[in-house]
Each structure stands twice: as C-alpha cells, then as structure tokens.
C-alpha cells in the first residue's frame, strides 16, 4: 500500500494556534489523562465549553476561537481567522487534543453498595467452588495418607487466616479497588509527605528521603511493581478453570447413567467441556455486562446456597462414616495407613490443590473501593466471618469424607475424582444430584470472580499503561434509572455514579483471557489435569505475589505515615499486625509471619522438583518446572516492558495546589527521553501526587496517586508530525486513539478502492 493512497487528504499536522493552552495538548495513548478519563470516557461527561474558557453554546472543539480573541484581540480579519481555524482542525490525521486537567468531583465518597453480607458472599463464593468437591479425593490420591490429607487442609486454613490478617492490614491503609495492585505498588514506593513533628501540628510537604537511593529510578516509585503485577494479573487471573469445571459437571449430570462395570463414569469429552465452559463464561459475562447489580444479587444468593450445601454434605458424609464404623472394626486404622503414590514429593502438588480450594479469601479486597468510605469494619467483619466459616466447614467436610470412604473406593474413581456420589450409593440419581450441586457451586464462584477480576482489569486500563487502555477502562453508558435513589446517583458529577455502571472493558479483557486459557488447556490429554492447570498456575503465581507482599509488609507503618496528613488518622485495630504494641503479641505475629514466608517459599521451590504427579495421582501430569518457567517468563516480559517504556520517562512531583489551577509541573517538557514511543511521535511523563486526594476519581475509585501524561509531536507550537504510514501505524499499535482513521480502516478502504477500480 503506497503512502499516497494511505495518506490521501492528510497532510502533516499544523502547529496549534498560540491561544492553545499547553494543558490541552494531550494525546490519547493509551488513553487520555483527562476529565473525560475521570468519567471513563463517556462522551456526555466531557467538560463543557464554559469549563474550557469558551462559549457555553459552542462545541468542545470550537472553544479555542474565543480564547484567541480574548488573548490577542480582534486584529485579524474574522473570515480569515475562521478559515484558518477550520483548516487547522481538519488537517492532519489526528483529532483535536483533549484537556489534560483533572477536576474534583466531591470530597465525600458517599455510601458504597457493599455491606457485610456482600463481603462475606464475595469471599465465600470464590472460596467454595468445585475444589471442595474434588480436592479431598485428589489430595488423598496424591499423598496416600488420610492424616496427611487432613493436615494439609489444616495448613491451607492456617495460610488463609494469616493472609486474611495481612490483607486486612493493607486494606485499612489503602481501601481502594484493585487490592493487591495498590498494595504491591505502594509497598515498593518511597514518595509521600511526612509529619515534621507531632507537637508542631504541621505537615512537611517535602518528599520523604528514599530508602534505596541507587535504585529509586529503576523501581519508579512503585511503578515497576504496578506494571509487573498488572501484566501478571491480566495473564493469569482468569476464570478458565471454573468455566471448564462447570462444563465438565454439566456433562457428568447428562451422562450420569453411563458407567462401566465398576460403577465409574467414563471420562467426558474434553472438547465439549471447553465449549460448554466458554458458553457458561460468556453468559455470566454478558449478564454482568448489561446489569452490574445482577452480579451482586447473584453473589448473595449463591453464597447462601453454597453454605447450606456444604452443611448438607457434612451431614451426609458423617452419616455414611457412622454406618461404616459400625460395620468395619479396622476402620480407625485407615487413618495411619500409607497407600502407594507416584512420588514422595507429590505433596507439593497436593498443597497446590489445597490452596486452590482456599483461593478467594482475598476476593473482597479487589472491590474495596465499593465499600462505604471509612467503614473498614464492614470489610473486616465480612472478611473474617467468611474465612473462618468456610475454613471450619472445609475441615469438617474433609474429615467426614475421609472417614466415610476408603482408599479403594477413591482409587476406582480417580478418573474423575468425583467422591460425593459414593456417599449416597453411587446411583444414577446420586451422581446427577451431586453434579448439579457442584455445578451451582461452580457458577457462584464464576460469578464472583468475574465481578471482582473485571474491576481490577478496569483499574489497570484506567492507569493508561497498556495499549488500547481506552477499551479496558470503559464503563457502560446505559441509563439505569429505576427509582429516585438511582436517579440521584446516576449523574456523572455524583461520586457514586459508577456504582450503577458495568466495567464493560474489564469484562471484555477478562472474557478474552479466560477463553485463551481454556483453548490452551487442550494440550493436556488428562481431563482433570487440563481443567486444573489454569487454576494451579494462578495459585502458584498468587503464592509468589503473597511471598513478595509478606517480605515488604514491614514497610506498611512507614508508608502509611508517609502518605497521611494530620487530618487523616490511621485506622487502629487489634486485628492489624502493624499496630500491635504488646511485645508478646508482636513476637507471636513475627513467628507466624516467618512461617508464612517459609511456607510460600517451600511451595515455590518444591513444585518444580521431579517426579511429577497428576491431579488424580497418575503419571499424566503437567511438568512442575512449567510453573516457574511460565511465571518468570511473563515476569521478565513485564519488567522489560517497564524498563523500555516507562523507566526512561521523566517523573514530576508538582506542588499541592487547587485542582483547577494549572501548574508548571503539569506542562509537557520541551524535551523527552527517547524510547519506543518516540518512534511513533509520542512524548510522555509521569506526574505523582504526594498523598491520596480522595476528591479525584482515580484515587477514590482505584487508589492511584500518579498519572501518565501523553502528548504528540505537533501539539506544541513550531512542531510538525511526520505523518508517514509507518509512524501512524506505530502510533496506533501503541494504543493511540486520536487518529481520525485507524490503519485497519484505512487499509480496508484501500482494498475497496482497488476493487472498485478493477
């Protein structure tokens, strides 16, 4: 395709007129850092012409005409000036730049939609998936010992409790949507404000001295961790396993009558499992896409059903165990027996299965920004109640199931490790009924993870660090007014308007990555193993994240002080490890903290050691070395992406001034560091705030103290943009969204023109 055809009617970009405020010279790569961004790019929410200094009756793109006359007078002929302005706006491949200022919405965040039961339900739904219906059998087949199996579930409960207190401590300091995304960024940052003296009653606004002076530029004041975690989250935190488990359970329900001579349901069709998994995933994503409140209602309903189902499972297993004890005198000796396993190191895979069953305790922290402001007790109560209730129920289920079933019974069922029907006679009705219960449990977990993960994806998109972030961060623009209370909050100027908005961009990314993972699982022949691989990889990556957060958690008190003003008092609670003052209590916490780090390190190191065992105890397994290989390959890519794109960018810490007052620190510098963006004619810098200003939507919604400011060559006076096909393609590839016509559209028009000429 020749440049003459591709660039027809598109000359080089003319420099903007002198009346253009430098703050308006804003590119949209990957998305504009503007008031429009604050309202998540809804056209109806863009600032009015009055706010930009123009006439209220004029459209946004025409505001510069009036400001020109206000500054320079009417010395030019009106017709010539209008003609020149018209040519300037229509020339070149780019749309008019957007405004680069942020505006305050409100000092009050209002009341969020999530209460204690919502928090409980998000955690319970994510924890109680299909894992508890397969993990007891899988772990027993991997370890060969009942007492060790129960002990590993006890370790999983301990792990979840320590993680709970650690994350509640983080959430008290950073109560924002994103959870780990915010925690790991702030724990590796150094900037902020600090109290000069408790007696002076003043705050020192100078930046705190960095701990790591030699490495502060590389770490980017927390930006390296933010970028790395963002890419890890997008790559691994998906709903692939839950989707496929739901599809598998549907097939088990349909094929409940098809058994071999031993009463074992044969392996289901793996391709059909993946197809059904994608269908179920799509249905729930579409439901939340068009109705965010439906996700919250389903969350509460599924949680109640799941708790009742677990209680019923405990009762049935306990009754079966009681009957078995009466008929079998050697029953108690089974708890000490050692049955044959494929490898003595298979306990490493077993602990991954256990932790995957407990995964979800952190789920509510991903949407902490939807909890009422300064109501940490809402999160605290729901968090602790959910983890304790689910943990106790899990231990009761595992104990009762292991007491009710023998090694021989479970070994015969290893092809699908579906133990529940064995408790009720393993008939057709039993197999179908338990499959339905497990499928409902899987649907609840799927709904919960989609709701929270999609909002983290939206937070990542809103940061403008990945290409096409404008798509990622998109809220829907549907009018959801049903009553007066909704009508009062649906106005974009209300800080609670986003409660009634669906994170459509985050849902799209979550669905896409889940489908990719489901398709990739086809490489494994074993059905149980292929379904579990995405979940095991996610768990392994999460263990690495927890290991990192635990190592840097000692910085939390200092970071909380550095980012707080005298009017913002830290939340004090006996449940916050960082606020412990009793020497004995602190000693106990340090011991638990050390054991927690040691456990994480053991999981990271031991799993890659051969030989490997499958989820059903067989030799057909995903190689253990694949876990660290996948993790560190993606991590290396993320770090390289940061070092190439963001590390060279200048960082600024402008003084604290009113939000509507332009400051020199906000202006794009004349020079910029060369990086791949430069090849596309894009310049950028990073602007940091020294504290959390909750009047800004990017703060009270996503807990982000910084923003990336982009600009294009030609947005400043005296500059021109080299509008070659290659440069425009690079601009589009990096996610720029100010092009009047994208390269794919231009290429399509070129094809149509060629076809017409023929």
Indicate whether 340 pLDDT > 90. Answer: no
Please state, in angstroms and as integers, the Cα–Cα distance from residue 571 to each residue in 162, 171, 378, 574, 593, following that order: 19, 10, 13, 10, 21
Which residue from 233, 533, 166 is spatially nearest to 353, judged by alpha carbons?
533
* DSSP secondary structure of 110-143: ---S--HHHHHHHHHHHHSSSHHHHHHHHHHHHH
The residue-averaged pLDDT of 228-239 equals: 94
H helix intervals, 291-418: 292-327, 347-358, 376-404, 407-412
pLDDT greater than 50 at residue 22: no
Cα 634 to Cα 637: distance, rounded to the nearest angstrom: 5
Whose CA is closest to 455, among 518, 368, 544, 549? Answer: 368
| Greatest pairwise CA separation for the chain in angstroms | 107
Query: What is the model's pTM?
Result: 0.80
Instruction: Please report which helix (H) or strand (E) contains residue 198, including its range.
Output: none
Higher pLDDT among residues 404 and 756, named by residue: 404
Give bridge partners of residue 682 from the DSSP assignment.
712
Higher pLDDT, 95 or 6: 95
Least confident of 422-426, 618-622, 721-725: 618-622
In the prediction, which pLDDT does 560 show?
A: 84
* Helix residue ranges, H only, 497-554: 504-520, 527-552
Rounded distance between C-alpha atoms, residue 40 and residue 339, angstroms? 58
Split at pLDDT 50, 70, 90, the class of 200 is very low
Average pLDDT over residues 233-248: 92
Mean pLDDT for 47-55 is 27
Between 748 and 92, the more confident residue is 748
- Separation of alpha carbons 560 and 574, rounded Å: 17
* Predicted local confidence at residue 110, as pLDDT: 42
pLDDT for 529:
80
β-bridge mates for residue 422, sequence order: none
Q: Which one, of 240, 304, 251, lies nearest residue 277 by Cα?
A: 240
């Amino acid at each position: 395709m020749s440049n003459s055809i591709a660039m027809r009617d598109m000359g080089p970009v003319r420099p903007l007129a002198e009346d253009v405020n430098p703050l308006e010279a804003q590119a949209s790569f990957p998305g504009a850092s503007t008031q429009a961004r604050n309202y998540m790019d809804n056209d109806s929410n863009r600032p009015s012409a009055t706010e930009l200094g123009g006439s209220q009756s004029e459209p946004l793109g025409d505001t510069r005409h009036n400001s020109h006359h206000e500054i320079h007078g009417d010395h030019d002929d009106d017709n010539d000036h209008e003609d020149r302005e018209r040519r300037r706006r229509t020339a070149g491949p780019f749309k008019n730049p957007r405004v680069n200022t942020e505006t305050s919405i409100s000092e009050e965040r209002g009341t969020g939609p999530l209460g204690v039961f919502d928090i409980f339900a998000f955690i319970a739904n994510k924890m109680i998936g299909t894992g508890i219906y397969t993990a007891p059998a899988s772990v027993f087949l991997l370890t060969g010992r009942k007492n060790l199996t129960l002990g590993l579930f006890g370790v999983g409960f301990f792990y979840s409790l320590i993680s709970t207190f650690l994350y509640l401590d983080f959430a008290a300091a950073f109560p924002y949507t994103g959870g780990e995304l915010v925690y790991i960024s702030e724990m590796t940052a150094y900037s902020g404000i600090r109290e000069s003296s408790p007696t002076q009653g003043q705050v020192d606004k100078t930046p705190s001295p960095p701990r790591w002076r030699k490495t502060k530029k590389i770490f980017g004041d927390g930006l390296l961790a933010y970028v790395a975690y963002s890419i890890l989250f997008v790559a691994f935190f998906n709903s692939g396993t839950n989707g496929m488990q739901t599809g598998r359970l549907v097939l088990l329900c349909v094929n409940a009558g098809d058994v071999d001579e031993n009463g074992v349901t044969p392996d289901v069709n793996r391709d059909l499992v993946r197809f059904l998994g994608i269908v179920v995933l799509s249905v729930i994503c579409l439901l939340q896409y068009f109705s965010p409140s439906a996700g919250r209602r389903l969350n509460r309903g599924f949680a109640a059903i799941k708790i009742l189902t677990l209680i019923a499972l405990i009762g049935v297993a306990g009754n079966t165990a009681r009957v078995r004890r009466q008929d079998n005198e050697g029953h108690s000796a089974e708890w000490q027996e050692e049955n044959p396993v494929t490898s003595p190191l298979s306990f490493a895979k077993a602990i991954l299965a256990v932790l995957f069953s407990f995964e979800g305790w952190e789920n509510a922290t991903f949407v902490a920004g939807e909890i009422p402001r300064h109501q940490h007790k809402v999160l605290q109560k729901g968090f602790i109640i959910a983890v304790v209730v689910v943990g106790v129920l899990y231990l009761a289920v595992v104990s009762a199931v292991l007491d009710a079933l023998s090694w021989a019974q479970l070994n015969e069922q290893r092809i699908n490790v579906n133990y529940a029907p064995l408790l009720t006679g393993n008939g057709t009705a039993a197999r179908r009924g338990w499959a339905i219960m497990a499928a409902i449990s899987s649907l609840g977990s799927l709904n919960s993870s989609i709701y929270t993960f999609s909002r983290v994806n939206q937070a990542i998109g809103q940061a403008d660090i990945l290409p096409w972030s404008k798509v990622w961060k998109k809220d829907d623009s549907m009018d959801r007014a049903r009553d007066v209370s909704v009508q009062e909050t649906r106005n974009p100027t209300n800080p609670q308007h986003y409660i009634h908005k669906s994170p459509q961009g985050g849902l799209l990314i979550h669905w896409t990555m889940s489908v990719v993972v489901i398709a990739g699982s086809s490489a494994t022949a074993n059905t149980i193993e292929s379904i579990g691989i995405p979940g095991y990889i996610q768990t392994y990556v999460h263990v690495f994240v927890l290991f990192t957060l635990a190592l840097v958690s000692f910085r939390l008190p200092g970071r909380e002080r550095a980012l707080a003003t005298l009017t913002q008092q830290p939340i004090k609670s006996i449940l916050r490890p960082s606020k412990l003052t009793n020497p004995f209590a602190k000693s106990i916490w340090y011991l638990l903290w050390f054991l927690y780090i040691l456990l994480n390190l053991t999981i990271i190191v031991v799993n890659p050691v051969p030989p490997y065992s499958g989820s059903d105890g067989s030799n057909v397994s995903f190689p253990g070395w694949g876990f660290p290989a996948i993790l560190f390959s993606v991590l290396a890519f993320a770090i390289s992406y940061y070092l190439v794109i963001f590390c060279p960018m200048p960082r600024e810490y402008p003084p604290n001034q009113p939000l509507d007052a332009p400051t020199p620190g906000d202006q794009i510098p004349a020079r910029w560091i060369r990086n791949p963006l430069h090849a596309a004619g894009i310049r950028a810098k990073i602007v940091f705030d020294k504290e959390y200003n909750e009047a800004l939507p990017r703060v009270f919604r996503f807990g982000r103290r910084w923003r990336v400011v982009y600009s294009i060559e030609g947005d400043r006076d005296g500059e021109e943009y080299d509008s070659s096909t290659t440069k425009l393609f690079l601009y589009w590839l990096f996610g720029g969204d100010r092009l009047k016509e994208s390269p794919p559209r231009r290429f399509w028009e070129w094809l149509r023109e060629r076809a017409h000429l023929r």
